[in-house]
Chains A and B, each alone.
Chain A
């Protein structure tokens, strides 16, 4: 207990009291344990993890030093990994507080993609006592040749927001880096901080790896009660069926903002933040200057200005994307609105938790439907929350692209002996089951100097030295590798900047490519006129008024989670029985009645199929209610199975409720049903067969090609020689398919499509469910309400059993843009 004394005193000096869970973590840390702390944001997880190493230091009996300079500070002891570089500065600020109060000879610094080159070079001479960094910047440190020396005195790695990382390739990158650090410092402790998720024990074992260590899972403060309500549209239109409310709800949203002091309005996409920001401002022009927007493509300085405005309550309202989901507290926030479906229960909880940090306040989130049917998702989310159905995050297993990148990273740094590195890599959860042949393939793929892959003459990136150590010897290759470390893949982005002035942010190159000088668009809430592109910057000037397009960013559209989908089916089932519980379902009643009249409302034991003919062709609508990803897989599968009966071409669209198969000729769905359309048995063969036709793997390869170092992001001032080495990932995919079909990255692409894009496990379960269900085929007179959103969706895939040439002959050429 006395060992905890300094922490208790520091808490008392701030008139706080340490929580029991914090004491538990400190004791465990001092006893050499590792672990995972899970609780909602803003409940003291940071101090729980931070005071462990501070108490350890204070217990070492150092004589207090009066001089607190960088050079006399302790060497690196704590690595603090954060998923968002925007959080690094705030975190470092919070960590510095006790260090300054106690005048410890510790330095706390950040190192991210935003760090200036001066600080970087200072850090490469000597790292601070605590370094706050991202997984990418950590990998970069491991690609330097003094890694072992720099990390020699490391005591603990704290991984913040681990739930955000664990289900991604960045999580695997983190696992590999941790394995390397444990190789350097065998007694290293690891502590993760996480929001509460469905599989918290798995989160812990994924973080800690397979090497046995003493560890524990610590639950933080119980979350406050959370209120979920919604703004109900005053008039629910039964016509038109689109149901899109657009910004029709603005007056109600503005009224809700006026009820509070400071609000965050969350949207699901960056373009939506721009739309809603404009709409709110148009409704209340006098709010100019007290309302702001925040999303990941805005320039860092602008984002920081907005975050500061939230903390100091200078801003009345911020319209934001998930860019404000994580991070430090914005205590003044007392109202949170969610535009559109939250898509998951945990996500809605997280967003609700951004409000209610004032004493005695509750967390409350108000959902605003953008489509009337979304009201049912709000009701379902509330049900799920009450039942404690929090989603799980599933770790990525055996991504060879990430492994290949890691191997080159280590080779570019201190080099490695293959057997030792394999041993280390297998201690991660992701590669615990890595077979020998896959490891050997990766080694050959990065080039082993002499025994390179057959069919790759004169290729070697990593070279085995005569001392048995494998290194990257070519400095240009090493430099290019460091520039492409990371697993986040995005389209080529281009900066937006005023002609003689400040930076605004970035947009995708493809958006700028469609503009001609003089075109207007809206960005960062500002109307702009496009002047020209030069040096990878789109130069703009302010436009007099708001008109013109809003850029669209390729974001991953989240599918409805399994937990939320189940709650939604239950709610629909009630409606099928004529029970309309709560304000949301009450409001939806007229629409659901039409659905029942024209077609049917499916209950939990039903599987609804609708057949509709329009001028576009013959539509088949299927409603499993399992989320968009599963529906994309089912759409390809069903299209493939029907196309085996007769030559036919389908185009497909999917959303969270169901999917559509559209064909120029009527599809024999009844025959397909009688011939096993819903069978889950042939899934293993049928899914890959239908995938070949849809090219999903080819698209998935984009990320793999980037991570494995085939395609690297253009870097500034790269000359002609770098341009000679650029090719699209699709081209790589085609060339591998044709000339090296055994390439394991190709199989990885197929596996990723199955497991991550199509959620194969969930897909199999869905097939079992619907094959046991009561199939209802209806032929509505026109498109019923549930199907309408599918009809208007313009993002499509295709499955065909016709010859390409036959199809082309039938096609009429339509130009994307009318000429001239």
Chain B
């Protein structure tokens, strides 16, 4: 893997994870890239509904995925749900870009753990060769899911929330940033997509929080 300065390594359940400022995580033992909530096709869904949102967000995210795969040398990409935003957003353009990406990485395993949006938007077309599974999907010691929850068999890695946190500092400074949340029994990854927004989280005692501040991941749970 080609590291950048903003990467941050952590241990979870004895496994080494690298939290990446591109808003994804790398699970080293499985060489798996973990990505939550891309919401691809969201802008196109809006346009189809008569709301002008410029195109580019989805293609940018696919580019970002492409460069992530090459810099981490991942063997596997696991989407933790909400890959596609909605049915009207299933555009040729987007699947074309995904297909092109897929052709360049035919050896790559791609798994989609379905989320609430995927159930209505549908799975990606079969020629993209995504393994689409329902949550919970066990890859012990982790349980892969979309909704944050507890699971008796392992530590849950999830998304859905698009976690963001408000920070306050001396001289009454404020920031609101996307973050990774690692709680006792589950973790929530930040949303990968650009046009997704943030949901505020209220951490409990013992939660580890890592914010994505532009090009670096910073541990703020001291």
Interface residues, chain A, CB within 8 Å of chain B?
A: 445, 447, 453, 455-461, 474, 476-477, 480-481, 616-617, 649-651, 662-664, 709-710, 720-721, 724-725, 727-728, 730-732, 734-736, 738-740, 743, 794, 796, 798, 800, 804-805, 807-817, 819-820
Tell whether A445 pairs with B52 under 8 Å between CB atoms, given A796-B174, A816-B166: yes
User: How many Å lie between the Cα of A815 and that of B220 in the bound state?
Assistant: 12
17 A-B residue pairings within 8 Å (CB atoms): A445-B52, A453-B52, A457-B44, A458-B44, A459-B47, A459-B48, A476-B50, A649-B173, A709-B50, A710-B52, A721-B86, A724-B85, A724-B117, A727-B195, A734-B194, A808-B175, A811-B169
- Name the distance in Å between A816's Cβ and chain B's nearest Cβ: 6
- Name the distance in Å between A719's Cβ and chain B's nearest Cβ: 11
Tell whether A455 pairs with B55 under 8 Å between CB atoms, given A735-B43, A808-B167, A809-B218: yes
Tell whether A461 pairs with B50 under 8 Å between CB atoms, given A650-B171, A813-B167: yes
User: How many Å lie between the Cα of A815 and that of B168 in the bound state?
Assistant: 8
6 closest pairs, A vs B, by CB?
A: A811-B169, A459-B47, A740-B54, A477-B50, A739-B56, A739-B54
Is there contact, CB below 8 Å, between B120 and A720?
A: yes
Is there contact, CB below 8 Å, between B209 and A813?
A: yes
Is there contact, CB below 8 Å, between A815 and B203?
A: yes
Is there contact, CB below 8 Å, between A814 and B52?
A: no
User: How many Å lie between the Cα of A710 and that of B53 in the bound state?
Assistant: 8
Besides A461-B51, A709-B50, A808-B211, 9 more A-B contacts (Cβ < 8 Å) are A461-B52, A649-B173, A662-B171, A735-B194, A811-B169, A811-B220, A813-B167, A813-B168, A819-B204
Task: Give the residues in chain A near B86, CB-CB below 8 Å.
Answer: 721, 724
User: How many Å lie between the Cα of A794 and that of B174 in the bound state?
Assistant: 12
- Which B172-206 residues have a C-beta within 8 angstroms of A? 172-175, 177, 194-197, 202-205
- Name the distance in Å between B2's Cβ and chain A's nearest Cβ: 20
Give B195's nearest chain A residue, CB to CB. Answer: A735
Task: Give the residues in chain A near B194, CB-CB below 8 Å.
Answer: 734-735, 738
User: How many Å lie between the Cα of A818 and that of B60 in the bound state?
Assistant: 38
Is there contact, CB below 8 Å, between B203 and A724?
A: no
Task: Give the residues in chain B near A805, CB-CB below 8 Å.
Answer: 213-216, 218
Task: Give the residues in chain A near B70, CB-CB below 8 Å.
Answer: none
Is there contact, CB below 8 Å, between A735 and B54?
A: yes
Is there contact, CB below 8 Å, between A813 and B221?
A: yes
The answer to whether the Cβ of B91 comes within 8 Å of any Cβ in the partner chain is yes
Tell whether A457 pairs with B174 under 8 Å between CB atoms, given A815-B202, A815-B203, A819-B205: no
Task: Give the residues in chain A near B85, CB-CB below 8 Å.
Answer: 724
Is there contact, CB below 8 Å, between A725 and B46?
A: yes
Task: Give the residues in chain B near A810, CB-CB below 8 Å.
Answer: 169-170
Task: Give the residues in chain A near B214, CB-CB below 8 Å.
Answer: 804-805
User: How many Å lie between the Cα of A815 and that of B47 in the bound state?
Assistant: 38
Is there contact, CB below 8 Å, between A617 and B175?
A: no
Tell whether A735 pairs with B50 under 8 Å between CB atoms, given A663-B171, A813-B209: no
Is there contact, CB below 8 Å, between A798 and B47?
A: no
Is there contact, CB below 8 Å, between A811 and B204?
A: no
Task: Give the residues in chain B near A798, CB-CB below 8 Å.
Answer: 173-174
Task: Give the residues in chain A near B55, CB-CB below 8 Å.
Answer: 455-457, 739
Is there contact, CB below 8 Å, between A727 and B221?
A: no
The answer to whether the Cβ of B57 comes within 8 Å of any Cβ in the partner chain is yes
Give A818's nearest chain B residue, CB to CB. Answer: B205
User: How many Å lie between the Cα of A80 and that of B50 in the bound state?
Assistant: 33
User: How many Å lie between the Cα of A35 and that of B213 in the bound state?
Assistant: 58
Task: Give the residues in chain B near A728, CB-CB below 8 Å.
Answer: 197
- Name the distance in Å between B209's Cβ and chain A's nearest Cβ: 7
Tell whether A804 pairs with B213 under 8 Å between CB atoms, given A447-B50, A819-B204: yes
Is there contact, CB below 8 Å, between B204 and A725?
A: no
Is there contact, CB below 8 Å, between A812 and B170?
A: yes
Task: Give the residues in chain A near B174, CB-CB below 8 Å.
Answer: 651, 796, 798
- Name the distance in Å between A400's Cβ and chain B's nearest Cβ: 13
The answer to whether the Cβ of B104 comes within 8 Å of any Cβ in the partner chain is no
User: How many Å lie between the Cα of A373 and that of B62 in the bound state?
Assistant: 59
Checking B49, B204, B209 against A820 with a beta-carbon cut-off of 8 angstroms, the contacting residue is: B204
The answer to whether the Cβ of B93 comes within 8 Å of any Cβ in the partner chain is yes
Is there contact, CB below 8 Å, between B173 and A811?
A: yes
The answer to whether the Cβ of B158 comes within 8 Å of any Cβ in the partner chain is no
Is there contact, CB below 8 Å, between A817 and B202?
A: yes
Is there contact, CB below 8 Å, between A727 and B197?
A: yes
Task: Give the residues in chain A near B169, CB-CB below 8 Å.
Answer: 807, 810-812
Task: Give the residues in chain A near B47, CB-CB below 8 Å.
Answer: 456-459
Is there contact, CB below 8 Å, between A447 and B52?
A: yes
- Name the distance in Å between A223's Cβ and chain B's nearest Cβ: 45
Is there contact, CB below 8 Å, between A455 and B49?
A: no
Task: Give the residues in chain A near B216, CB-CB below 8 Å.
Answer: 805
- Name the distance in Å between B10's Cβ and chain A's nearest Cβ: 17
Give B214's nearest chain A residue, CB to CB. Answer: A804
User: How many Å lie between the Cα of A85 and that of B221 in the bound state?
Assistant: 51
Is there contact, CB below 8 Å, between B170 and A664?
A: yes
Is there contact, CB below 8 Å, between A725 and B54?
A: no
Is there contact, CB below 8 Å, between B171 and A807?
A: no
Checking B45, B50, B56 against A724 with a beta-carbon cut-off of 8 angstroms, the contacting residue is: B45
Is there contact, CB below 8 Å, between B172 and A662?
A: yes
Tell whether A735 pairs with B211 under 8 Å between CB atoms, given A724-B86, A814-B168: no
Is there contact, CB below 8 Å, between B218 and A808?
A: yes
Task: Give the residues in chain A near B205, CB-CB below 8 Å.
Answer: 819-820
User: How many Å lie between the Cα of A357 and that of B91 in the bound state?
Assistant: 67
Is there contact, CB below 8 Å, between B56 and A455?
A: yes
Give B174's nearest chain A residue, CB to CB. Answer: A798
Task: Name the residue among B44, B85, B173 with the largest chain A CB count within 10 angstroms.
Answer: B173
User: How many Å lie between the Cα of A660 and that of B86 in the bound state?
Assistant: 47
- Name the distance in Å between A511's Cβ and chain B's nearest Cβ: 15
User: How many Å lie between the Cα of A445 and that of B166 in the bound state?
Assistant: 34
Task: Name the residue among B52, B86, B196, B221 with the largest chain A CB count within 10 angstroms.
Answer: B52
- Name the distance in Å between A486's Cβ and chain B's nearest Cβ: 17
Is there contact, CB below 8 Å, between A457 and B197?
A: no
- Name the distance in Å between A790's Cβ and chain B's nearest Cβ: 12
